[in-house]
Amino acid sequence: MAENISEHVAQIRRETDLPVAVGFGISNPEQVALVSKLADAVVVGSAIVRRIGRFAADPELPKRIKEFVQPLVQAVRR
């Protein structure tokens, strides 16, 4: 995974000076930590949307999303 992403990000960086965001299938702190070393931004949209679908009726939905996202943020900061 890392080699492939690294190659793609390097190729994109050769073509633009814009920040590079990487997503698609990223859903855990280990993946976030890896991608955050290669790209300027990490996209975790689908994993959050799945969690919203899973807990949509739960009055604790905001808390559940926060519990999911916090370890991802910590992975970037490490």
Burial profile 5-32: b = 16 or more Cβ within 10 angstroms, e = fewer: beeebeeeeeeeeeeeebeeebeebebb
User: How high is the pLDDT of residue 1?
Assistant: 58
pLDDT at 3: 65
- pLDDT of 50 > 90? The answer is yes
The predicted pLDDT at position 4 comes to 87
Range of 26's domain?
A: 2-77
In the predicted model, is pLDDT for residue 39 greater than 80? Answer: yes
How many angstroms separate the CA atoms of 40 and 21, rounded? Answer: 6
Looking at residue 20, its pLDDT comes to 97
Are 26 and 42 spatial neighbours (Cβ–Cβ below 8 Å)?
yes
Give the total number of structural domains in the chain: 1
Q: What is the pLDDT of residue 2?
A: 58
Q: What is the mean pLDDT of residues 56-72?
A: 96
**Which of 6, 7, 50 is closest to 25 using CA atoms?**
50
Helix (H, G, I), strand (E, B) or coil at 21: strand
